[in-house]
Amino acid sequence: MPLALLALAVGAFGIGTTEFVMMGLLPDVADDLHISIPSAGHLVSAYALGVVLGAPLLAAVTARLSRRTVLIALMVLFVAGNALSAFAPDHHWLLAARFLAGLPHGAFFGVGAVVATTLVAPERKARSVSLMFLGLTVANIAGVPAATLMGQHLGWRATFLGVSAIGLAAITALAALIPHDHTHAPTTGLRGELAALRSLPVWLALGTTVAGFGALFSAYSYITPMLTDAAGYADSSVTLLLALFGVGATIGNLLGGRLADHAMRGTLFAGLASLAAVLALFPLLMSAPWSAALAVTLLGVASFVTGSPLQLMVMEKASTAPSLASSANQAAFNLANAGGAWIGGLTLAAGLGVTSPAVAGAALAVLGLAVAGVAFAVDRRRSPDRTPRALIVATNDPRRPEPLPR
């Protein structure tokens, strides 16, 4: 695998760290800026809104630029957003800075996935995408805990300065390691990228992402009360258990990339089916501490096995102009985050029990399976066998004499 994938992984590590670290810093930020915890929670929403809007918008605006240049420019914007977060004088400025930091997130992963697949042989495309996503999963194991500790001991502003430094390292790596043959602008341009989004299979692929990862976030958004109220863990143990989720996600990401290179469709279907099964078993697994820890790990494995296949599925359906569709898939991931959390919250509000969001997630995973099946069926119908019917009839005609033996 080329070293250029390392540069993409460093960028993904920084983005993953800044996305999730705010959850651990909310009390510190709220105290320092003299706002409530719910008001501080809007900082998480501001970042997510930046991702959803920035992914397709920036991918479309930069469609005529070289992908190497786009990746570096996106990381410059990422550094600016985090540096401004560190020096934000009040809550409103911090909201704007978090929105700015979220803008390049989806476009970086979308364009980066396209670049990653062009750096390797065709039979290693999924593995190359998984290695870029490795930075995101490792961020949940090491980056987020380290950044949270930094914020608790040195102040939350130091955390965003540290993330900015990671962004600067990513810029250096991208400039040094991405081959210069990626300096040429894609030939499709904005019109070609927009044309790709008019394809029904592309939208079905995006729908699979929303349903599949909505299943994850329906449960993961409420994993802490499940662990404390159902499994009996103390609040102080939750951080370690969330690290187990990161370990499982890393394993699933690498496994999914390797398997998808051999059978992308089979890996996607198996991953979604496994996710549905794990979530359906959550009420049982959360009844004891040891099985709850196993459930958290399996959730990470099953959900991230589908990461690379979902990204490749969207890129395959938009093969002539993949950058915009690939970036839109990152927006779909964040819509899944918000939608899954909302659906899981509805089950709790209905009084269905602390583990009910996981059961709702299992239903979403089944929905993802159904949408993926429709997507592949539509694609197969639109791409029938090219063999002329007359030739098939002639070949199978019983009156046709057998060929002479050699």
- Given this model, what pLDDT does residue 182 score? 57
Higher pLDDT, 291 or 136: 291
* pLDDT tens for each residue of 313-361: 888 777 666 777 788 888 888 888 878 888 988 888 888 988 999 999 9
Level-2 CATH architecture, domain 1-186: Up-down Bundle (1.20)
**Domain boundaries 188-385, CATH class:** mainly alpha
pLDDT at residue 12 above 80? yes
pLDDT at residue 78 above 90? yes
**Mean pLDDT computed over 221-244:** 83
Higher pLDDT, 149 or 249: 249
Of the chain, the percentage scoring pLDDT greater than 90 comes to 32
Dist. CA 221–CA 219, nearest whole Å: 6
pLDDT at residue 96 above 80? yes
Q: What is the CA radius of gyration of the chain?
A: 23
What's the pLDDT band for 190 if we cut at 50, 70, 90?
Answer: low
Phi and psi, residue 385, nearest 5°: -60, 130
**Mean pLDDT computed over 267-296:** 93
Closest Cα partner for 34 from 81, 89, 73?
Answer: 89
pLDDT at residue 26 above 50? yes
| SS3 per-residue string spanning the chain | CCCHHHHHHHHHHHHHHHHHHHHHHHHHHHHHHCCCHHHHHHHHHHHHHHHHHHHHHHHHHCCCCCHHHHHHHHHHHHHHHHHHHHCCCCHHHHHHHHHHHHHHHHHHHHHHHHHHHHCCCHHHHHHHHHHHHHHHHHHHHHHHHHHHHHHHHHCHHHHHHHHHHHHHHHHHHHHHHCCHHHHCCCCCHHHHHHHHCCCHHHHHHHHHHHHHHHHHHHHHCCHHHHHHHHCCCCHHHHHHHHHHHHHHHHHHHHHHHHHHCCCHHHHHHHHHHHHHHHHHCHHHHCCCHHHHHHHHHHHHHHHHHCHHHHHHHHHHHCCCCHHHHHHHHHHHHHHHHHHHHHHHHHHHHCCCCCCHHHHHHHHHHHHHHHHHHHHHHHHHHHCCCCCCHHHHHHHHCCCCCCCCCC
Would 1-186 and 188-385 be classified into the same CATH topology?
yes
Higher pLDDT, 123 or 210: 210
The structure's pTM equals 0.78
- Given this model, what pLDDT does residue 99 score? 93
Domain boundaries defined on the chain = 1-186, 188-385
Higher pLDDT, 192 or 57: 57
